[in-house]
Amino acid sequence: MTLLIADSGSTKTEWILIDRTHQKTLFSTKGLNPYFTPKEQIASEVGGLVAQLGEEKVDKVLFYGAGCSSPAMAKLVKDAISSQLKNSEVIINTDLLAAAKACFDDRQGVACILGTGSNSCVYDGEKIIDQIPSLGFTLGDEGSGGYFGKKLVRDYYYNIMPEELHKSLENKFDMSLETTLDYMYRKPRGNAYIASFAYILAEFSEHPYIQDVVEKGFNEFVIKQLHYFNKHNIKNIGFVGSVAAYNQDILQRVLEEKGYELDVIVQKPIDRLVDAHLAKLAKQSLL
């Protein structure tokens, strides 16, 4: 069996092909969140991937994606992928399930995503049994790249950002208000554009302003999202995503102050997903 496994966020999708010899090949496309990416564009991105695969036949596609919790959105993604991989079985799961499997495998825990967006769930070692309502870039995504990006952009235009950070943004972006609003409200994938401003969290990680911004953002994530699961009385918390990975010390401190335990941080869940599926297939003698 030849497997194509995808982990898709709002910014980037990583694909790993596992062929019959256990060889793994990595591909990358844009993020395929159906709330921000039209069906035709999803199909186009997958079509480009198919061109890279050449003559390789894909038996099954396991797609874990942001924005796929809704049956309608999951069907949209499935139809777009199937239009390019016509002879492949296509299975759509949420990126939250990918996060849970990557963090805990067959253990219980609260799994969280802190990347371009944020999300969280309770995982029983096999399936998601409870999850926070996903309100997305405009209403939710506490503690995410998009959340911090919005804070940084606001502080820039309101002139309450320290001068050295102010200059850093001007060196990296066209900071004319017209350009920013155009990306935000008229161009596609405005969430990913605003989230890209969060690069400054790593570049100025020791700056008191940044540490204060990050700590407040993580506190809001805990209060709005983790407290939602208090009825389950589960305190071990796992994270996937670059925002969690790059700000681990502050995240751990905030969790401990709120009575939680940082169990694990996985920056790239796809590697653990691939290993888990390989083990399962080997057990079933399918590879």
The enclosing domain of 38 has a CATH number of 3.30.420.40
19/212 Cα distance (integer angstroms): 47
Q: What are phi and psi of 147, to 5 degrees?
A: -60, -50
Q: What are phi and psi of 286, to 5 degrees?
A: -95, -15
Residue 182 resides in a domain: no
Task: Give the three-class secondary structure for 172.
Answer: helix
| Percent of the chain topping pLDDT 90 | 63
Residue 93's DSSP bridge partners are: 64
Based on the structure, what is the number of domains in the chain?
Answer: 1
239/110 Cα distance (integer angstroms): 9
Residue 238 resides in a domain: no
156/271 Cα distance (integer angstroms): 37
64/266 Cα distance (integer angstroms): 16
Residue 275 resides in a domain: yes
Residue 187 resides in a domain: no
287/285 Cα distance (integer angstroms): 6
Query: How do residues 182-230 score in pLDDT, each as one tens digit?
Result: 988 887 777 888 888 988 898 898 999 999 999 999 999 999 999 999 9
Query: How do residues 16-34 score in pLDDT, each as one tens digit?
Result: 998 776 777 888 899 899 9
